[in-house]
Amino acid sequence: MIVKSLVWFALGIAGGFVAAHLVNKDPRGQELFAQLDARIGEFTDHMSDAYHQQETRLSEIIDDAKGVAASAVDRASEAVGDAAAAKTAATSSD
């Protein structure tokens, strides 16, 4: 069963190459392939642009999260320092 499927798959690929070769011999076929190539190029350009836009958005979100986390760490550090200073002041006055 698998061998039969592989044979049909190979025949389909070979048939596609033969058909493409025959179509490419005709000037109208060459024009068709040129249009197809241009559309594929446009599609890949759009996909690439969308990928880079999404990558930029995610980078901005990550940078914002890093900034918030750094600010939280600074505030927590200040709070610990203030608490330590208050404890020191309280034990000094006793």
CA 1/CA 8 separation, integer angstroms: 11
pLDDT (mean) for 17-28: 92
Q: Residues with Cβ < 8 Å from 20, sequence gap 6 or more?
A: 33
24 pLDDT more than 80? yes
Q: What percentage of the chain exceeds 90 in pLDDT? A: 83
HSE on the CB side for 56, CA within 13 Å? 6
- Give the Cα separation of 75 and 81 in Å (integer): 10
Domain carrying residue 32: 2-93
Residue 74, both tokens: 């600074």
Q: What is the pLDDT of residue 87?
A: 86
Domains in the chain: how many in total? 1
Whether this prediction's pTM lies above 0.85 is answered by no
Phi first, then psi: what are they for 52, rounded to 5°?
-65, -35
Q: How confident is the model at residue 94 (pLDDT cuts 50, 70, 90)?
A: low
Phi, psi of 26 (to 5 degrees): -85, 135
What pLDDT does residue 76 have?
Answer: 94
